[in-house]
Amino acid sequence: MAIRGIRLFGDPILKTAADPVRDFDKQLRNLVKDLTETLDGAQGAGLAAPQIGVGLRVFVYAVGSERGYLVNPELDFPDDAEQDGEEGCLSFPGIYYDVKRRLNTVARGLTDRGDPVQVVGTEVLARCLQHETDHLDGVLFIDRMDQATRKQAMKAIREANWDGPVKLSPHRMTDRIF
Ligand SMILES: [Zn+2]
């Protein structure tokens, strides 16, 4: 098991829809372990397989004491309530902007043995489940920003230098970086 390199914005895999998992084998369990170790190493709150270069529908999350993973997740929204707030992404170091999301989310998926499992999330966990499932569809948080915010974010991204040592914002909120 290993901490894997995190793919940054500009890598085409981040814009590519991931494939459903079909083999519930040791390789899948190793992928979940690598995702978990990489997430912990990066001190983030969520990480999807395409972010480490694997085009499969798997993500891990660590929001407060709620930790876990989902294979082949599908989202369901029990109501119309929304939330607005700052969000970051491990594939966009140092970039934090407001993103509107649904407040309540139910994610249904499978364990690494293929058994059904469901995660019910509100607030930050709901945000995380939406952000990670978007990653599996090749959708990024900049695609969810309103037009003015996205414009600001794209400017900050163009000015960011991710080739050198990444300078992290002092107000970095590790519980909202997915
Ligand atoms: Zn992300």
The model's pLDDT over 15-49, given as tens digits with 9 standing for 90+, comes to 999 999 999 999 999 999 999 999 999 989 999 99
Q: Cβ neighbours of residue 21 under 8 Å, at least 6 residues apart?
A: 28, 56, 57, 58, 71, 72, 110
CA distances from residue 44 to 66, 117, 151 in whole angstroms, order as listed? 13, 23, 25
112: which DSSP letter?
Answer: T
- Compute, in angstroms, the gap from residue 93 CA to the centroid of ligand 1: 10
Cβ contact 123:101 at 8 Å:
no
72 in Cβ contact with 118 (< 8 Å): no
Residue 169 has pLDDT above 60, yes or no: no
The pLDDT mean for the chain works out to: 94
For residue 177, the CA-to-ligand 1 centroid distance in Å is: 7
Q: Report in angstroms the alpha-carbon separations of 133 from 11, 47, 129.
A: 18, 10, 6
Q: What is the value of pTM for the model shown?
A: 0.94
Q: Which of 39, 38, 76, 71 is nearest to 57 (CA)?
A: 71
Q: Which pLDDT score is estimated for 175?
A: 81
Q: Is the pLDDT of residue 143 over 70?
A: yes
Q: How far apart are CA 162 and CA 92, in angstroms?
A: 9
Q: Which pLDDT score is estimated for 162?
A: 83
Q: How many CA atoms lie within 13 A of 2 on its CB side?
A: 4
Whether 115 shows a pLDDT value over 60: the answer reads yes
Neighbours of ion ligand 1 (CB under 5 A): 89, 178
Alpha-carbon span 139 to 52, nearest angstrom: 15
- The catalytic residue among 74, 123, 132, 159 is 132
Active-site annotation holds for 132? yes
pLDDT tens column, 44-73? 999 999 999 999 999 999 999 999 999 999
Confidence category of residue 8, pLDDT binned at 50, 70, 90: very high
